[in-house]
Amino acid sequence: MSAVLLAVDGDSLAHRAYHALPKNLQRAGGGPSNALVGFSNMLIRLWERERPDAVLVAWDTLTVPTYRHEALPAYQSGREFDDALLEQLDLLPGLVESFGFACAKAPGYEADDFLAAAARAWPGPVLIATSDRDAFQLAADRVTILQPTKGVSEVARVGPAEVRERYGVEPEQVPDFVALRGDPSDRIPGARGVGPKKAADVLREYGTLEAALAAGRFAAEAEDLRLFRRIATMDASAPLPPLAQQTPTWAEASSRARELGLGQLAGRLAALGG
């Protein structure tokens, strides 16, 4: 059996953990801890359940705009993050690295882009843990999306069949689907008057957005829709750290958690180290 990579959207799951756990949770010595603890527990739970041979956690660089923000100024506009969350997002990559896992983060790229790069680069099965449904474009015979449900405790497994069931399109059509339907969470407008059903119908008829445009559909919006598709497409050229099979360093992770004032988490990590 081929080695399995677990690729995790760090920002997506950290945001989910932050909003799922009480915001008054504190580290020993002060400072918020809900995202640190919630994310770590979910990562541990994923590792215990899936037993991957390697783990990559991908991160946004919130302080640097990407080409998406420059091409579409409205992209992700209006998002504001609590200082308590931003403080923990700064600490999480170092904590994850203490687990013995790889981290990917670079200016100009989103966590999504590293997931796409990992799915392309890893030769065996890939599990992608994210709440972002844009990742459905990566679903394939060897790539399964693990979509969290019920807070941070359970996941739904999404492959090509589930993408077809949910959206009515193939995984590779998802960027075209998003361009046509739009994405309110990312402030992508989509085509005027087009919802998910019509977007799926157009793609079933023409196969691709470009083919629909070539046939004269959406002529007045053609360039905008091409831009939306580009924005919705994950960039698989994102730079990755070396990926290889790993042995988790639970003792080091326990020490790091204790340094951060996360005593209960440190105990859980120490127990994993045996």
Q: Which pLDDT score is estimated for 152?
A: 55
Contact by Cβ (8 Å): 261, 241? no
pTM of the model: 0.95
Query: Would you give the distance in Å from CA 57 to the centre of its chain?
Result: 9
Which 8-state DSSP code applies to residue 138? Answer: G
Collapsing DSSP states into helix, strand and coil, what is residue 6? strand
**Do 15 and 139 belong together in one domain?**
yes
Q: Is 214 exposed, middle or buried (0-12, 13-18, 19+ CB in 10 A)?
A: exposed
pLDDT above 70: residue 151: no
Residue 209: both structure tokens together: 């957005």
Beta carbons within 8 Å of 99's beta carbon, 6+ residues apart: 43, 55, 248, 249, 250, 252, 253, 269
Q: Which amino acid is at 51?
A: R
Q: Which pLDDT score is estimated for 62?
A: 87
**Do 88 and 75 belong together in one domain?**
yes
**Do 205 and 247 belong together in one domain?**
no
Supply the DSSP string of 160-228, one letter for each residue: HHHHHHHHSS-GGGHHHHHHHH-BGGGTB--STT--HHHHHHHHHHHSSHHHHHHTTTTGGGHHHHHHH
Residue 269: CATH number of its domain: 3.40.50.1010
**Do 68 and 121 belong together in one domain?**
yes
**Do 24 and 85 belong together in one domain?**
yes
**Do 55 and 99 belong together in one domain?**
yes
**Do 155 and 182 belong together in one domain?**
no
Q: Which pLDDT score is estimated for 274?
A: 83
Residue 170: CATH number of its domain: 1.10.150.20
Provide the domain limits for residue 181.
165-232
Query: Would you give the distance in Å from CA 217 to the centre of its chain?
Result: 32
Residue 88: both structure tokens together: 């923990």
Supply the DSSP string of 95-112, one letter for each residue: HHHHTT-EEE--TT--HH
pLDDT above 60: residue 255: yes
Distances in Å between the alpha carbon of 67 and those of 233, 235, 274?
12, 11, 46
Q: Which of 178, 60, 59, 53 is nearest to 127 (CA)?
A: 53
**Position of tokens 């890939």?**
126
Give the span between the Cα atoms of 151 and 144, in whole angstroms.
Answer: 20
Q: Specify the length of the chain in residues.
A: 274
Domain count, the chain: 2
Collapsing DSSP states into helix, strand and coil, what is residue 104? strand
Element (H, E) at 23: none
**Do 173 and 137 belong together in one domain?**
no
**Do 85 and 117 belong together in one domain?**
yes
pLDDT above 60: residue 186: yes
pLDDT above 80: residue 167: yes
**Do 252 and 204 belong together in one domain?**
no
Average pLDDT over residues 195-201: 97
Model pLDDT for residues 50-67, shown as the tens digit of each residue? 999 999 999 999 888 888
Q: Residue-wise over 56-88: b if at least 16 C-beta within 10 A, else e? A: bbbbbeeeeebebbeebeebbeeeeeeebbeeb
**Do 96 and 213 belong together in one domain?**
no
Average pLDDT over residues 247-274: 96
**Do 255 and 154 belong together in one domain?**
yes
Q: Which pLDDT score is estimated for 153?
A: 67
Give the span between the Cα atoms of 256 and 216, in whole angstroms.
Answer: 59
Contact by Cβ (8 Å): 68, 19? no
Give the span between the Cα atoms of 88 and 166, in whole angstroms.
Answer: 34
